[in-house]
């Protein structure tokens, strides 16, 4: 396909996608545009059926809905990009290795020339023979100097390229592992961390705990103040979690207004103490609207905690923590409940 054809196709897709986004009141963010771009060209399995079902049910495209669609159908693009950058890094390293190998061969040849010169000097019959030997060594020396100069230049170029690739790879990995709104880890990274901690922990001698956290009455915040203020509340709770953990602890946005904490080497008792400190800090903080300074009212969270048991599966552990969370809700919210099942 010619470049002009690709540009024309993209322009046509844009012409179709933007009116659709306007019709269904979808904010024109890069992530949302990616969703509707792929919806128009129909290249993401399951995406069109999912959106068509939402349209049929007249479901509003809220931020949570848009984020869910992006995470489910498009977030793997970050991982694909990371894989491509990794391949480029490997290629650059291979080229550098080849250059070293080639220069090494030239160095071996140069060493043999010098050795031959050393032996031949003793048997030279005349100054003419010595000059011929010197001329040979001089040419080889010049050739070796040029080779080393090329290698140095190649190294400088490859070094710059690899530094750029490393930075790009770090950025892509961060995008793939974190939640865009809060900067916390996303659900996928949380499960990866949970798997790693579970593999090395012993419930008897080295226990770990998990906590499920939910913002109380969050829908009321969105309905009263709008989604932008709702986002501010979500970020505030995320910042409170981030500032309260340390070491290998992992805080993640689990979805919407729900979060998860992974607390390695932490007993149920200590996890309850930590989560109560977080809960109290959030409840005491008075959030206000940026422009009007109007108070958002008291923001509170409900928490459910469970400690890993011998022979228990990871999903069963999370289910116990989730059940404890809903007990906190049933008991009046703004509470921390430890699973006792």
- The residues annotated as belonging to the active site are 257
Dist. CA 172–CA 77, nearest whole Å: 10
The distance of Cα 16 from the centroid of its chain, to the nearest Å, equals 31
Dist. CA 79–CA 176, nearest whole Å: 6
Size of the chain in residues: 341
CB 338 within 8 A of CB 317: no
């Amino acid at each position: 396909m010619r470049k002009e054809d690709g540009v024309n196709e993209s322009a046509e897709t844009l012409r179709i996608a933007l009116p659709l986004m306007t019709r269904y009141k979808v904010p024109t963010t890069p992530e949302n545009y990616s969703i509707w771009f792929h919806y128009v060209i129909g290249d993401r399995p399951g995406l069109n059926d999912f959106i068509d079902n939402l349209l049929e049910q007249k479901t509003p495209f809220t931020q949570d809905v848009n984020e869910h669609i992006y995470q489910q159908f498009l977030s793997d693009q970050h991982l694909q990009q990371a894989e491509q950058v990794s391949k480029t890094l490997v290629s650059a390293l291979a080229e550098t290795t080849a250059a070293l190998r080639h220069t090494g061969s030239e160095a071996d040849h140069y060493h043999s020339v010098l050795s031959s010169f050393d032996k031949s000097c003793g048997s030279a019959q005349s100054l003419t023979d010595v000059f011929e030997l010197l001329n040979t060594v001089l040419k080889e020396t010049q050739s070796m100097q040029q080779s080393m100069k090329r290698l140095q230049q190649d190294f400088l170029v490859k070094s710059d390229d690899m530094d750029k690739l490393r930075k790009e790879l770090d950025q892509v990995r961060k995008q793939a592992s974190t939640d865009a709104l809060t900067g916390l880890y996303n659900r996928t990274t949380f499960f990866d961390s949970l798997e790693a901690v579970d593999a090395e922990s012993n419930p008897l001698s080295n226990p770990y705990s998990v906590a499920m956290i939910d913002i109380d009455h969050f829908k009321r915040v969105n309905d009263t103040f709008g989604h932008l203020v709702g986002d501010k509340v979500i970020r505030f709770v995320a910042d409170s979690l981030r500032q309260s953990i340390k070491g290998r602890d992992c805080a993640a946005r689990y979805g919407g207004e729900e979060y998860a904490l992974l607390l390695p080497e932490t007993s149920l008792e200590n996890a309850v103490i930590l989560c109560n400190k977080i809960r109290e800090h959030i409840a005491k903080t008075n959030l206000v609207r940026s422009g009007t300074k109007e108070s958002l009212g008291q923001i509170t969270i409900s928490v459910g905690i469970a400690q890993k048991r011998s022979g228990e599966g990871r999903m069963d552990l999370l289910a116990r923590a989730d059940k404890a969370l809903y007990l906190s809700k049933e008991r009046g919210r703004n509470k921390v409940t430890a699973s006792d099942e």
